[in-house]
Structure 1
Amino acid sequence: MRKLIALCAFCASPAFATGLEITVAGEANGTIKIDLLEDIAPKHVEQITALAADGAYDDVVFHRVIGGFMAQTGDVENGKLGADMRLAGTGGSDRPDLAAEFSDVPFDRGVVGMARAQDPDSANSQFFIMFQQGHFLNGQYTVVGRVTEGMEIVDAIKKGQGRNGEVTGAPDVMTKVTVTE
């Protein structure tokens, strides 16, 4: 009986989730569905699904959006709607940083990767969605998923200004991020 209870508790873990459903508001309005690649990056998938299940990603803005490249979000510490947007992109979560889980999956349009600092083992909560292929990122960043629905919503996310893609004014926001099975 104890084995069955332990097994069921393990099965309920967010790590067994297969996707995310992200509701976006702002210039882009709608839902983005992402298939998570647990077999490619199990630790990263576990981290982002745990954060999503806790509601940490709700009301987090897209703080860095570079047209023709990618849209970045996920700063649960400094990127909440209404926070000082000058700090957005500088934080993570209260969970530990993760060692890279590089794969052969290329950074094509719709691929979701984990953002990080200079250290390859510094990914935490931030992630980005590719507008177009960016194969120069292959083997440099961890791939965690791919958009399966709502790429038109990704394309409509408010673009940032300048080379760094910092979004000024009212950024688009992930109003709700739900773990799906």
Structure 2
Amino acid sequence: MRSAFLAPLLLAAAPAFATGLEIRVAGEANGVIKIDLFEDVAPLHVEQITTLASEGAYDGVVFHRVIEGFMAQTGDVEFGRIGQDLSMAGRGGSALDDLPAEFSDLPYERGTVGMARSQSPNSANSQFFIMFAPAPHLNGGYTVVGEVTEGMEIVDAIKRGAGSNGSVIGRPDVMEAVTVTE
């Protein structure tokens, strides 16, 4: 009887799951990107992203790898911050642990947000990417964490990188501020 009485109180005290991100971008692209996060598809990844965003870890982090017709990658909170030597951008993560893969059957379409990782499926940490176009070769092999709901024109304007790896030369566009929305 006691646990039935306390259950509603415990639920009310539990923190609400975040449902999205708002990213203010500056550089060649200027504006706000709104992302709906998929807690039901990738709960561990969404928790990690929202934790980092809530701590301000993504503020000042650049889009370090941007490939025309493919995707824009950001989120290297270790080596990808404005004011740092960006030659290592894309190789770092955060102080939090890497995450086990949360693969789903959601396809990589224009506007899909996915987690970047190394060759190991269980190596995603803080970096994520936003798709410019469909990429079926990523389906089932990278964790889908959300989708852009507003500001795709801002994503489209992000400064492109050069060469096959898409490294941005000069001053990359930056996530000035990333906030968690509910």
TM-score (norm 1): 0.95
Q: Unaligned 5+ residue runs, structure 1?
A: none
| C-alpha distance in 2 between matches for 1:75 and 1:5 | 38
**Which secondary structure state, in structure 1, belongs to the residue aligned with residue 40 of structure 2?**
coil
1:107-131 CA distances to partner (integer Å, 9 max, x unpaired)?
0000000000010000000000000
When Rg is computed on C-alpha atoms for both structures, the one with the higher figure is: 2
| C-alpha distance in 2 between matches for 1:37 and 1:4 | 25
Q: Partner of 1:45 in structure 2?
A: 46
User: Aligned pairs, how many?
Assistant: 178
Overall identity of the aligned pairs, in %: 70
| C-alpha distance in 1 between matches for 2:12 and 2:50 | 18
The answer to whether 1:11 aligns with 2:15 is: yes
**Which secondary structure state, in structure 2, belongs to the residue aligned with residue 63 of structure 1?**
strand
Instruction: Give the 4+ runs in structure 1 shifted more than 6 A.
Output: 1-5
| C-alpha distance in 2 between matches for 1:113 and 1:136 | 13
| C-alpha distance in 2 between matches for 1:152 and 1:67 | 14
1:82, CA displacement in angstroms? 1.0
Q: Partner of 1:74 in structure 2?
A: 75
Q: Partner of 1:154 in structure 2?
A: 155
Q: Unaligned 5+ residue runs, structure 2?
A: none
Write the letter of the residue equivalent to 2:138: L
Q: Partner of 2:89 in structure 1?
A: 88
RMSD after superposition: 1.3
1:11, CA displacement in angstroms? 2.0
Write the letter of the residue equivalent to 2:74: T
1:71, CA displacement in angstroms? 0.1
Write the letter of the residue equivalent to 1:56: A
| C-alpha distance in 2 between matches for 1:87 and 1:103 | 30
